[in-house]
Structure 1
Amino acid sequence: MSLDSLEPSPISQTKQDPAWKHCQLFVKKNANGVKEELKKCTYCGKFFKGGGIHRIKEHLAGRKGNGPTCDQVPSEVRFLMKQVLNARNSGAKKNKTQIIISTTPSVDHTPLKLIEAPNLGCSGGGVGNESVDGAFLGSISAPNLDLLANQEEDVATSNVSVDGRKRRRDLNASVLDPSASANSNGGIDFSSPSLVPCEIDNVFANHARSKSGGTPNSKLLVNHDEEEEEEEIGIGGTSMDRKKRFRGENSLVAMDAGIVNNDIELERKKNQEIQMAIGRFLYEIGASLDAVKDSVYFQPMIDAIVSGGTGVVPPSYHDLRGWILKSAVEEVKHDVQQYMGTWRRTGCSILVNRRYSQKGKTFLTFTVYCPERTLFLKSVDASAIIYSPDALYELLKQVVEEVGVEHVLQVITDNTEKLIVAGKRLMDTFPTLYWVPCVAHCINLILEDFGKLEWINSIIEQARSITRFVYKHSMVLNMMKKFTFGNDIVKPGLTPIATNFMTLKQMAELKLCLQSMVTSQEWMDCPFSKQPGGLTMLHTVTNRSFWSSCILISRLTSPLLRVLRIVGSEKRAAMGYIYAGMYRAKEAIKRELVERRDYMAYWNIIAHRWEQQRHPPLHAAGFYLNPKFFYSLKGCVHNGIMSAMFDCIERLVPDTKVQDKIIKEINSYKNAVGDLGRNLAIRSRDTLLPVEWWSTYGGGCPNLARLAVRILSQTCSSISYKQSQISFEHIYETRNCLERQRFSDLFFVQCNLRLRQMVHKNKEQDYMDPISFDCMSLVEDWVMEKEVCFEDCGSSDWVSLNPPTTNTMQLGALVDDDAEDLGTGFDDNEIFDGSK
């Protein structure tokens, strides 16, 4: 279903049923002029056609039998809907009389129960100072966009997907016209582009037929939009008797519903008072508001307070500095010791991050990665040694010895010159580990170089002119959210550079929505559409060349953004996927640009940055040991991959006898000998994580399996957690030794609690408001003016902004796991060779 096939429609104020607050209304006009009404659940995104608001109530309440139920509705909303339905049912039971079924054929009054329940869909600051030579980048011109002319519309619309389930409850289908609402496949026909805003109409009027097949007889039809009531035929059987009983039932239902609504209103006010109390506290202390959505400990805190009843005694200032902090330190240290026990089997990676204080001092933080959890180790004031390779080497050496040389496979840092020198020296001292630059840092630099190309930079600036204008005016922002079904056009990434390309992709996917907006009557009537920014937006959004370039840039950079997400994922270790991810990135560029002279220009940018990675053998070895990728190779394994595997064997396995055994076991792996060739093992190549696969089926080659588990259990990025709110100065400038140790322990607890919650937190579902302070550093260039301007701030009233919709329409193909999206098949030797 295309985005322009639905028109949001306002819900009339006469609709008083509480369920209307939890759904959205859309209207479509068919070719024959008939308006069709669709209701969308606010929480799960399912669409309903017909059934009135009663069907939505059953959906939210979890009542099975008449259609799908919502699995994302908040508990308080589900409880409310159950109360409303129970009140209705109890009212009906009180007035139940003996039912005599009429033998005279009559038109069934039950409205059409066709449910369409699809999830409607359409379709990560700079990290370094390195740059590619300006003349080199300037020589890369824009590709021929004429080749994309016929592809543009396909891309914009191919991202739209509808899948649905329908349930028919009609007791007499012969009185309905099946062609009026369903296509030949049994689904709703959204092919008509003719859509108009409208109020809620009777969507069943055109479906009902009289028993004679002529014009519908309204006396024989019962259609309640607010409630579906069952007509009861008593002994008297007269029309007046039925009407009296019907009115009686409605009166009792209304009374019961009134009591329920009154209770709900009292509960709502009580919750508002609680939420206001929490808000006042957070506002007064100046706490970061993203803690409410980011911290997994917020709700447990509320639950613990509620469970204590009215006699809960809050902790005092001295409690928080005393026994509570002491208990938290002991709890975290116990966790650290527990996870350190897994390092012997999986090995670990030491991650080194550079941080800066408000006073310009440089600090290095050390964390230890293993698949079970990343642990914060310590932080060091490195201001005096950051430019000394010898001093940095001594610091790295000390940390490696503290963790245990036998556990460490790699030390990951950024790619600065001094750390490169220190890292090489560290490898000389410890011949059983690698120093590796951060892959996320490298990918960010590649994207930065792409953005410096003149034609790409021009498109980015044009797109920014749109977003700055939209996010400057509340009226325009509300209108945009309406036409994009609640989606933002700015998409924060892991870094500001990643934000540039994620936002271009987001805008390309919302192309039709934006075009519908600037050509609508609502936009034409908007005073901001006549301003210079509005006119520029109209010109850009209706410019075919702009969208062709946006789509091409998105195709060129999306695979690199996927690699960035893979290395930052907490779901699985990235080592078995990074090599395949880079292969797919180069493959996509070659596929899009076709001509060798065109795609080699972008390949050379990648090669320039990737060479600074020193081609870490661990990446290629991880590819080789991932059974999903290895067994999809056709022919001989590329010599570069095999050489990297041998390098890892020699470096990570110091015992030469064990090395020889591994070489023999590699042949068993190649030929899928023993358990490796079982049908179970073959099927599990695509379903089990690589480490799990080796642990399950690698018993026949124990030495190779042990090495595979250690390599495949590593990460590729030093980006681990959000920076602590505790100022580094508090720790290192406090002159009292006791208080300094207290701050140090507090910092240790905070960092490890943040790392612990990353395991449980689903970051993909987080909504990030582009204009919130918490993500401003990532989107600053997209939502802020180049210069401070105050003259038209009157049009920027945040109070008039509509609240964000957390259940927006899914954009793009829904991919649960970026690593799984890499697929199989690696047969292009030119990509493996990486020749210039």
Structure 2
Amino acid sequence: METEHDENYEDIAAANRSIRGKSDIAWSYVIQSKDEKGKTVLECAFCHKKKRGGGINRMKHHLAGVKGNTDACLKISADIRFKIVNALKEAENKKKQNIVLDDTNLDGPEIEDVDGDDIRVDVRPSQKRKKQGIDLHDYFKRGVHDQTQPSIKACMQSKERIHAVDMSVALWFYDACIPMNAVNSPLFQPMMSMVASMGHGYVGPSYHALRVGLLRDAKLQVSLIIDKFKSSWASTGCTLMADGWKDTRQRPLINFLVYCPKGITFLKSVDASDIYASAENLCNLFAELVGIIGSENIVHFVTDSAPNYKAAGKLLVEKFPTIAWSPCSAHCINLILEDVAKLPHVHHIVRRMSKVTIFVYNHKPALNWVRKRSGWREIIRPGETRFATTFIALQSLYQHKEDLQALVTSADPELKQLFKTSKAKVAKSVILDERMWNDCLIIVKVMTPIIRLLRICDADEKPSLPYVYEGMYRARLGIKNIFQEKETLYKPYTNIIDRRWDRMLRHDLHAAAYYLNPAFMYDQPTFCEKPEVMSYSWVGRENIGQNRVIPVFNSLTIII
């Protein structure tokens, strides 16, 4: 019977192909005819249900049993249904590969499946937006009057012409050694659109114009933007930040920046060589900056956690009681990492493990051998001023443990000769010391929560202040769990955290930010209900009802 049916299906397919010239697999199981009005009717060869619309695509869904477009055939055999389902998947994948998804070229060619054949058709941008449900404002990313809107002429250009223009831009990038991520600048596409709007023959600005006239005009535009920021300081309040650093001549400089919900503004840079060591002189300098901004506009003051800055901050708060002072969270966490790195056993491990890195990168045979290993990535080396990189380097070394052990046990004659030297023997003893690797792993696990918190505080991706209190709490708890609550083991680490956290970083501001963070407020099982958290209303009960908005460090806004 199956052979008989197959022969019938082949006869049907041959007849359909002779009439329609179709090659879709579904035609082998569909009977095509005309009704009394001359319209095409497709009939399933299994259940003999007739369909008068949707073409072969609808019949394929019927045969495959796909819900949505039509009902499923209940009499089709499993192997034929499997073939039809695979045919639908192949057609869908082909459409995805050929549809132009870039909304800057919405008028490009698209592949559509019509009656089982892949036919290349051109769809206008308006039709494609309507079909895909794209909002008009999503297409014009800076409004319906966006200057980057492609013109009709641009839409009609051939792929060869577009490639030629792209190549000319690329060659300019390569010749001028411009970093490729410059194209990610929000000003890149507006610049290209303005150049295109000038038409053929436009000559770019000269070297003199870029360094004199245009630079002066750009400065004026930036000044107008800053003035717009300043106008919001009175209504929303702002945070004054003092960033101390030293230049190549070892001069102590202080950069002053102002944060408000609209953005961060650089105010000025001061050479503090004469006043750096005196808390009173620093306080007078800070007071001068407060006078420029307006004491009624500043609600938060952030500095480094150095003793002179700390003393100056307290003096400033006494002068201006409405200003809250706090040290920089990232700086305090860096100091925690520095103190941990100074612990005798940690320093010993770091010093021994660093000998492995130095040995590998100072001997070409060893370096060339490991670089040929599958999946090899370079070992991270610690930086001089970034204390977190010490522990990141330990983690990197631990990830290369197998490669390094394979290196020292290799049968390569050149490597065997190399490991006869004294320095190589020291590196080999470290690499084969399993206890050293275990200690390295413990230190990495202990410091991972602190490093994760540092990344949050030292980045601009999201507000960091609401996560400092919770981060410190989880870091201490994680360290205790690693050492299974054995006080003699975890105390050296928690004492350092407590010393830096309690003396420098622990402020009611962090407790208030933690309390007001929705990520923790509604997580009742783990929410901390310590008195310092529940008394968050320290920020000013007398101000309740005035609808005053306090923006605090790193984009957090507290409404009281």
TM-score in same-fold range (> 0.5) = yes
Structure 2 distance, partners of 1:516, 1:67, is 48
Tell me: CA distance 1:372–1:536, structure 2 relative to 1, closer, same or farther (3 Å). farther
Q: Which residue of 2 aligns with 1:564?
A: 454
Aligned pairs, how many?
409
Aligned counterparts, 1:276-287, within 5 A: 277-279=175-177
Q: Establish whether residue 604 from structure 1 lines up as the match of residue 444 from structure 2.
A: no
Tell me: CA distance 1:273–1:576, structure 2 relative to 1, closer, same or farther (3 Å). closer
Structure 2 distance, partners of 1:439, 1:69, is 48
Q: Secondary structure at the match of 2:253?
A: strand
Match of 1:498 among 388, 394, 403: 388
Match of 1:715 among 537, 543, 554: 554
Structure 1 distance, partners of 2:204, 2:365, is 43
Match of 2:338 among 448, 469, 488: 448
- Report the Cα offset of residue 295 of structure 1: 9.0
Structure 1 distance, partners of 2:361, 2:323, is 49
Q: Secondary structure at the match of 1:610?
A: helix
Structure with more of its chain in helix, by fraction: 2
Structure 2 distance, partners of 1:325, 1:532, is 60
Q: Secondary structure at the match of 1:412?
A: strand
Residues 759-808 of structure 1: CA distance to partner in whole angstroms, max 9, x if unpaired?
A: xxxxxxxxxxxxxxxxxxxxxxxxxxxxxxxxxxxxxxxxxxxxxxxxxx
- Report the Cα offset of residue 360 of structure 1: 3.1
Instruction: Determine if contact 1:575/1:622 at 8 Å carries over to the other structure.
Output: yes
Aligned counterparts, 1:303-382, within 5 A: 313=203, 315-343=205-233, 346-382=236-272
- Report the Cα offset of residue 379 of structure 1: 0.9
Structure 1 distance, partners of 2:299, 2:502, is 21
Structure 1 distance, partners of 2:96, 2:372, is 26
Amino acid at match of 1:277: D
Q: Which residue of 1 aligns with 2:510?
A: 619
Structure 2 distance, partners of 1:64, 1:493, is 51
Structure 1 distance, partners of 2:372, 2:187, is 31
Q: Secondary structure at the match of 1:325?
A: helix
Match of 1:428 among 295, 318, 321: 318
Instruction: Determine if contact 2:304/2:327 at 8 Å carries over to the other structure.
Output: yes
Q: Secondary structure at the match of 2:93?
A: coil
Amino acid at match of 1:326: R
What TM-score does the superposition give when structure 1 sets the normalisation length? 0.43
Instruction: Determine if contact 1:415/1:437 at 8 Å carries over to the other structure.
Output: yes
Aligned counterparts, 1:168-179, within 5 A: none
Q: Establish whether residue 300 from structure 1 lines up as the match of residue 188 from structure 2.
A: yes
- Report the Cα offset of residue 413 of structure 1: 1.1
What TM-score does the superposition give when structure 2 sets the normalisation length? 0.62
Q: Secondary structure at the match of 1:488?
A: coil
Q: Secondary structure at the match of 1:469?
A: helix
Percent identity over paired residues: 31
Residues 435-465 of structure 1: CA distance to partner in whole angstroms, max 9, x if unpaired?
A: 2111212111111111111211111112211
Structure 2 distance, partners of 1:272, 1:601, is 55
Q: Which residue of 2 aligns with 1:639?
A: 531
Structure with more of its chain in strand, by fraction: 2
- Report the Cα offset of residue 715 of structure 1: 2.6
Q: Secondary structure at the match of 2:375?
A: coil
Q: Secondary structure at the match of 1:485?
A: coil
Amino acid at match of 1:714: F
- Report the Cα offset of residue 620 of structure 1: 0.7
CA root-mean-square deviation: 4.4
- Report the Cα offset of residue 366 of structure 1: 0.5
Q: Secondary structure at the match of 1:483?
A: coil
Residues 656-683 of structure 1: CA distance to partner in whole angstroms, max 9, x if unpaired?
A: 2x44x6xxxxxxxxxxxxxxxxxxxxxx
- Report the Cα offset of residue 403 of structure 1: 2.4
Tell me: CA distance 1:345–1:578, structure 2 relative to 1, closer, same or farther (3 Å). farther
Tell me: CA distance 1:617–1:463, structure 2 relative to 1, closer, same or farther (3 Å). same
Q: Secondary structure at the match of 2:504?
A: coil
Structure 2 distance, partners of 1:471, 1:364, is 38
Amino acid at match of 2:550: R
Tell me: CA distance 1:311–1:385, structure 2 relative to 1, closer, same or farther (3 Å). farther
Q: Secondary structure at the match of 2:263?
A: coil
- Report the Cα offset of residue 359 of structure 1: 3.0
Q: Which residue of 2 aligns with 1:25?
A: none
The higher-RCO structure (CA 8 Å, 6+ apart) is 1
Q: Which residue of 2 aligns with 1:236?
A: none
Instruction: Determine if contact 2:332/2:505 at 8 Å carries over to the other structure.
Output: no
Instruction: Determine if contact 2:379/2:397 at 8 Å carries over to the other structure.
Output: yes
Residues 564-595 of structure 1: CA distance to partner in whole angstroms, max 9, x if unpaired?
A: 11111212111111100111110111111120
Match of 2:442 among 552, 557, 562: 552
Structure 2 distance, partners of 1:648, 1:496, is 34
Structure 1 distance, partners of 2:227, 2:319, is 27
Tell me: CA distance 1:534–1:646, structure 2 relative to 1, closer, same or farther (3 Å). same
- Report the Cα offset of residue 401 of structure 1: 2.8
Aligned counterparts, 1:7-86, within 5 A: 65=93
Q: Establish whether residue 586 from structure 1 lines up as the match of residue 476 from structure 2.
A: yes
Q: Which has the larger radius of gyration?
A: 2
- Report the Cα offset of residue 311 of structure 1: 5.6
Aligned counterparts, 1:805-824, within 5 A: none
Q: Secondary structure at the match of 1:496?
A: coil
Structure 1 distance, partners of 2:473, 2:382, is 25
Q: Secondary structure at the match of 2:245?
A: strand
Instruction: Determine if contact 2:460/2:554 at 8 Å carries over to the other structure.
Output: no
- Report the Cα offset of residue 68 of structure 1: 9.4
Q: Which residue of 2 aligns with 1:224?
A: none
Q: Secondary structure at the match of 2:436?
A: helix
Aligned counterparts, 1:520-559, within 5 A: 532-559=422-449
Amino acid at match of 2:188: P
Q: Secondary structure at the match of 1:390?
A: helix
Instruction: Determine if contact 2:365/2:415 at 8 Å carries over to the other structure.
Output: no
- Report the Cα offset of residue 621 of structure 1: 0.6
Structure 2 distance, partners of 1:457, 1:306, is 58
Amino acid at match of 1:65: N
Structure 2 distance, partners of 1:454, 1:407, is 48
Tell me: CA distance 1:614–1:583, structure 2 relative to 1, closer, same or farther (3 Å). closer
- Report the Cα offset of residue 315 of structure 1: 3.9
Residues 78-114 of structure 1: CA distance to partner in whole angstroms, max 9, x if unpaired?
A: xxxxxxxx9xxxxxx9xxxxxxxxxxxxxxxxxxxxx
Q: Secondary structure at the match of 1:576?
A: helix
Match of 1:383 among 273, 283, 293: 273
Tell me: CA distance 1:460–1:480, structure 2 relative to 1, closer, same or farther (3 Å). same
Q: Which residue of 2 aligns with 1:575?
A: 465
Structure 1 distance, partners of 2:350, 2:414, is 26
